[in-house]
Amino acid sequence: MKKRNLLIFPLLLCVVILFNSFKHKDLNKNTNTNSHPNNEIENRVDSVLSLMHLNEKIGQLVQYSGKWNATGPSSTNGDQYKLEKLKKGEVGSMLNISSVASIRETQKIVMEHSRLKIPLVFAYDVIHGYKTIFPIPLGESASWDLDIIKKSAMIAAKETAASGIQWTFAPMIDVSRDARWGRIMEGAGEDTYLNSVIGVARIKGFQGDDLALPHTIAACAKHFAGYGLGESGKDYNTVNIGEHELHNVVLPPFKAATDAGVATVMNAFNEIDGIPATANKMLQRDILKGDWNWNGLVVSDWGSIGEMKAHGFAKDKKHAAELALNAGSDMDMESYAYEAHLADLLQEHKITIEQLDDAVKRVLRLKFQLGLFDDPYKYCDVDREKNEVYTKENLEVSRDVAKKSIVLLKNETKLLPLSKTIKSIAVIGPLADSKDTPLGNWRAKGTYNSAVSLLEGVKNSLDKNTKVYYEKGVDLTIPTVKPGDNQFLHPLEFNTTDVSGISVAVEVAKKSEVVLLAIGENAYQTGEGRSQTNIGFLGKQQELLEAVYNVNKNVVIVLMNGRPMDLSWSADNIPSILECWFLGSESGNAISDVLFGDYNPSGKLPVSFPRHVGQEPLYYNQKNTGRPYNRSHVTYSGYRDSPKSALYPFGFGLSYTTFEYNNLKLDQTTITKTGELNASVDVTNSGQIDGEEVIQLYIRDLVGSITRPVKELKGFKKIMIKAGETQTITFKINAETLQFYTANKIWEVEPGAFNIWIGGSSIADLKTKFEVTE
């Protein structure tokens, strides 16, 4: 009888869980705004929490990485340990398991063996597409097209969800100003406002209007906070910024993300002012969960809790677990600190049960929002995985996004667009026939060598009457990353000796009307852990470039890269330069669309390109200083050997047509702090081709309680203007536009004079002024 009762008790608990899970079938509707929790979901969360043992609560805060296949974990010690924890219901999430079969098998372990049968949530780094690969985020940001950015995230979410995964660690919304930092490729560049609006577009694309729908996934705003401002561009490095820079530059994209209902936030590897972000109570508890009233889940970055020992902030992993939970870090990704030490820390009164329960509730809340309690296998549909991933329709969108992400940096002799009746063309360079580099880093499940190469794209655009020559010229890197390789350990060994192919490439260039020279970076030169001191053309690429240019002046550089590069020599000599980033699956076709005029380029730079690496970190919205830049003076804030300005500034990008800005008007020149005014400008397409233009609004607060930047992006609109047409564009300027985090340590508008510019880049010269009064 005793044995029988022991068996019945857990069954009764499961009945309670199932009853609470199924009694409200529509509870997951409209639960995407974490600032306003759904009361019915909160009741369900509380009902589950009340049934949980301590080890099960702690287990919900544990995230493991798994690499096994559909048959389940292997027999290695590590996998066996994880398997036992799964069976006990002491794991909350798994990452790096990808396929419906593998995820179903792993979920089954929990659902068939654990006491309470709380489903796992599965995560994966889906950064710029799942199987259909889109441009790297920095490149996609160059489109300044929020609709197409949202659409690419929607497709990525659809493919990800169809493959069984419910959670992505994207978008990265770190403001990043240093081209040396390899991870600059993963965000939207140097500007706070641009990061904010692009981050929100991506979040809305991933999460849609309802996380419970089967084609949406949870997004993750990262890295909280300051990760993109590491000293000297080194990854994981120390961040030294003041309180006002934190609030005015770093935090606004995260505030926008939480306001948009982002489901999760990832904290950062770096420290700020001596405190690692993972243990920063001010950031996580006071601001994120307190001031912003956000009730989503905070996940650590990989091993960042345990890494606080290396920082010299925690004496051991137990101390690190104490610091992290107290600071508001909810889920431990691969540190094994929470599972080992939270129970003891609770018993020793170094953490509280209220803190623990709050973290657990955030995990459970996400799972209810995703509908996993209603159906743990809702994402495990083999038909969807077969029919909704890497489709023709998805590839068409990838091509559309890619062509809109290309930036025309130079077209001095109007060499572009090329005629499709051209008789001969040379496609030269180490990246000209690459089908892998265009996929970029962080390519999720993108298939190795699956991208359309530049050479293929050119051939697809031309008929048989054009002679297309191809020569590699030089090799960029010696090793090649293959599927399954550990990209973090992969060496970057550049070919600095073999120049035997240059002479052959020169001969090809001599007999061609135009040369397309595909140079730049290997896909794995940028990304996590990929910081570099040299941002020029590595290997023998510069030698190839100069040799080809010496025999044929009609050279178009097709630049493939994940960071701003030093293009000083090219800018002085080469007539046409196309910034093509790593454009994804349809790269070659998209580039050819621009080269041959099927699409008029409309991209604008989300980052400043330097004249020399010595300018880094470089960004347009600098402070004026007490001795502003003036080369006519001996002492000023600049360089003696170079201009201070960018080679290609933030917001810059050319078109095959020309745009003229005139008639900048304000409907008022004086407003109160709570008032608003409208600024309008006439934009004329003065060329012969229809084109899209990104009209950009910049403002400077001339005098503040803290010093203000020389100008700040405050709005933009991307519009199509037909040849010869003039359109009047209007921007509304109000308190939201003008406020900043002041010396009073609050967000407010300060009275005074403001300059305003509207134009096609951050160096717009059409300017006027207005006044704000009390």
- What pLDDT digit, counting tens, does each position of 115-161 carry? 999 999 999 999 999 999 999 999 999 999 999 999 999 999 999 99
Pair 569, 110: CB distance under 8 Å:
no
Tell me how far apart the terminal alpha carbons of the chain are, to the nearest angstrom: 80
**Which position has the token pair 């047409």?**
725
Average pLDDT, the chain: 93
With both helix axes pointing from N to C terminus, report the angle between 39-49 and 353-369 in degrees, rounded to the nearest 10: 120
Best-predicted range by mean pLDDT (4-8, 77-81, 337-341): 337-341
Residues 380 and 12: their CA atoms lie apart, in Å, by 27
User: Residues with catalytic annotation?
Assistant: 301
Residue 636 pLDDT level (bands cut at 50, 70, 90): confident
Q: What is the greatest pairwise CA distance in the chain?
A: 97
- DSSP output for 28-43: TTT---TTS--HHHHH
* Alpha carbon distances (Å) from 666 to 10, 121, 660: 70, 52, 19
Separation between Cα atoms, residue 543 and residue 127, nearest integer Å: 34
pLDDT at 36 over 70: no
pLDDT, tens digit, for every residue of 381-399?
999 999 999 999 999 999 9
The three-state secondary structure class of 584 is: coil
What is the percent of the chain where pLDDT is above 90?
Answer: 88
Tokens standing for residue 293: 């009233």
| pLDDT given at position 66 | 87
The 3-state DSSP class for residue 649 equals: coil
pLDDT band at 487 (very low <50, low <70, confident <90, very high): low
Query: pTM of the predicted model, to two decimals?
Result: 0.94
Question: What pLDDT does residue 635 have?
Answer: 82
Pairing state between β 467-471 and 167-168: unpaired
Residue located via tokens 């709005």: 715
Whole-number Å distance between alpha carbons of 128 and 440: 9
Q: pLDDT digits over 556-610, tens only?
A: 999 999 999 999 999 999 999 999 999 999 999 999 999 999 999 999 999 999 9
Percent share of the chain, pLDDT over 70:
91
Which pLDDT score is estimated for 69?
54
Which SS3 state, helix, strand or coil, does residue 259 take? helix
- Please tell me the predicted confidence (pLDDT) of residue 507: 98
> Which tokens belong to 47?
């009902």
More confident residue, 69 or 567: 567
Is residue 527 within 8 A of residue 441, CB to CB? The reply is yes
- All structural domains of the chain, each given as residue ranges with its CATH number in brackets, are 2-385 (3.20.20.300), 403-615 (3.40.50.1700), 659-773 (2.60.40.10)
165 contacts: CB under 8 Å, gap ≥ 6: 98, 103, 122, 123, 124, 126, 217, 379
> What is the tens place of the pLDDT at every residue in 642-657?
999 999 999 999 999 9
pLDDT digits (tens, 9 = 90+) for 207-230: 999 999 999 999 999 999 999 999
Task: Assess whether pLDDT exceeds 80 at residue 488.
Answer: no
What is the arithmetic mean of pLDDT over 153-178?
98
Q: Which residues contact 120 (CB under 8 A, 6 or more apart)?
A: 86, 91, 92, 93, 94, 106, 107, 110, 372, 376
pLDDT of residue 360: 98
Task: Indicate the pLDDT class of residue 477, thresholds 50, 70 and 90.
Answer: confident
Dihedral, 262, 265, 271, 274 alpha carbons, nearest 10:
80
